[in-house]
Chains A and B, each alone.
Chain A
Amino acid sequence: MFPVLLFYIFSLAIIASALMVIFSKQPINSVLFLIFSFINAAGIFLLAGAEFLALIMVIVYVGAVAVLFLFVIMMLDFNPDTIKKEVGKHLYVGLFIGFILFLEIILMMYSPELFSYEYQIVGNTVKTSLTNTEILGNLIYTEYFLQFQISGFILLVAMIGAIVLTLRHRDYVRRQIVSDQVARDPKLSIELVDIKLKIRK
């Protein structure tokens, strides 16, 4: 009873905060609600007995991805009125994609092979003596090794791409070169100059 209650609390919180992501006026509030819905999604993973996935979800999405979101949104200067205009332009495309997604979910719910009440999320955890982490490790590094490596390479390519796009050495930017700074000695940095004093009379 208690897990079911928690499930409804978590899922209601996800839906409510996901709606708030779309409808809140301030972009920053949208991001904060997005973070809140991520955390609640982690809660649902916990209820399903997938503790490892739940915490990885928090670490990756909340701890890393959403921080960057928040960074970008804070640095940009948004005007709520222009956002309203921009939304109007893309409204129909967005509605169309949303409709397709919604249709897919509905179809999934009514197709008995894919989704039936035998596979309820709550209270139907896999019973093994192994912990979550061990099961995942056994699967990822044996059966799904190729897929795991490929996804790693995709991430690597994305990282290199991001670095290539942003790394530019411009001549007029003064840079700190630490090795030069450490290698400085008094001979290089201090010069003794004899100054002839002019004594005015």
Chain B
Amino acid sequence: MTLFFINYALPLIFIFFQSALVLVAVLLMAYFGIYADRKIWAAVQLRKGPNVVGPFGLLQSAADLLKLLFKEIIIPEKANKMIFVLGPIVTCFVALSSWAVIPFSEGWVVADINVGILYIFAVSSLGVYGIIMGGWASNSKYPFMGAMRSAAQMVSYEVSIGFVIITVLLCVGSLNLSEIVYAQEGLWFIFPLFPMFIIFFISALAETNRPPFDLPEAEAELVAGYQTEYSSALFMLYFLGELAATFLMCAMTTILFLGGWLPPLDILPFTIVPGVVWFFLKMAFIFFLFSMVKALVPRYRYDQLMRLGWKVFLPISLFYVILTSSFLLFFDIAP
């Protein structure tokens, strides 16, 4: 019994608290992410943004959260009730569970598994199910169209993201996320692999349905896409799932290209700052870029989106995979 306690129960409790901590961190990021997103968007358009609730409008997200929670959950009569409720839960669950393998700093990771990056790729490829299920179960035209668009979009851009990840892995020689960060000591991958960084950034926007690729919920055409019929807490779960996925993409960009928790220069004033601060600063920078894109770029047309994914990004990333592997092989510097 004591053996069971030491071998299984104690680590289980430990992992439980670690996951709770990561969850709180992600939810806090989502909370301030909404606020930052709205403030940046407002600043670009010379508006003030949220500024009424709390100091500088900081409590606006909390007010929105409470408002959503206290609203009534409306389930359409003709909807498939089971799948309708399951849709947002799947989206949120999948987006949050990917955070288990993200290393926030040296050794700060819930599950330091050997195939971390494959895990993220696999779990985020499940994210499409939440949207398809929600769109289909609503039993209504706009949600269904939105879900179809979203599924096609996410599946298409996953392909180019996969090739970008392969390029980085060629330079690292391991699927472990911490190893990927260690391999960037001295030179962050953004410098040798800059075209891949651009492709990953744009694909990340498309993968998380951020503007300018927010066609699944294009207000002008589809009311609100797959979330048209959702209200209250179920809507909030979709919203939260989407934000968590967006931040996950920021974290992935940080780990793959910006050197994770590593300081920009390995000299004294930078090395005092703990790694987790660098990690969050880099993530915040990428999120700022995401918000600026949202504020600056008009929405894509659907056929242009598909063309960009399959006819532009796929060949370029495939070419870059071959180029990188040939380069590494020719100079005999493959890890």
A contact residues vs B (CB 8 Å cutoff): 1-2, 26, 28, 32, 35, 51-52, 55-56, 58-59, 62-64, 67, 70-71, 74, 131-133, 176, 178
Query: Nearest CB to that of A52 among chain B residues?
Result: B115
Say whether B22 faces chain A, with CB atoms less than 8 Å apart. Answer: no
Top 8 A-B residue pairs of the complex, sorted by shortest distance between their CB atoms? A63-B125, A58-B122, A55-B118, A131-B114, A55-B122, A59-B122, A176-B303, A2-B8
B307 within 8 A of A: yes
Given the complex, which residues of B lie within 8 Å of A74, measured CB to CB?
132, 136, 144
Q: Which residues between 110 and 149 of chain B lie within 8 Å of chain A, taking CB atoms?
A: 113-115, 118-119, 121-123, 125-126, 128-129, 132-133, 136, 144, 148
Residues from chain A with Cβ under 8 Å of B158 in the complex: 63
Q: Is the CB of B114 within 8 A of A51?
A: yes
Hey, which chain A residues are within 8 Å of B118, CB to CB? Answer: 52, 55-56, 59
Nearest A residue to B158, CB-CB: A63
Beyond A58-B126, A131-B174, 12 additional contacts (C-beta under 8 Å) are A1-B4, A28-B136, A35-B129, A55-B122, A63-B122, A63-B125, A63-B126, A67-B128, A70-B129, A71-B148, A131-B115, A131-B175
Residue of B nearest to A175 (CB): B303
With the chains together, A178 CA to B312 CA distance in Å?
12
Q: Is A64's CB under 8 angstroms from B125's CB?
A: yes
How far in angstroms is the closest Cβ of chain A from B267? Answer: 34
Q: Cβ of A62 and Cβ of B114 under 8 Å apart?
A: no
Whole-angstrom distance between the alpha carbons of A62 and B8 in the complex?
Answer: 30
The chain A residue with its CB closest to the CB of B113 is: A51
Contacts of B114 in A (CB 8 A): 51, 131-133
For the complex formed, measure the closest distance between the CB of B321 and the CB atoms of chain A, giving whole angstroms: 15
The yes or no answer to B170 lying at the interface (CB within 8 A) is no
Interface check B40, CB cutoff 8 A: no
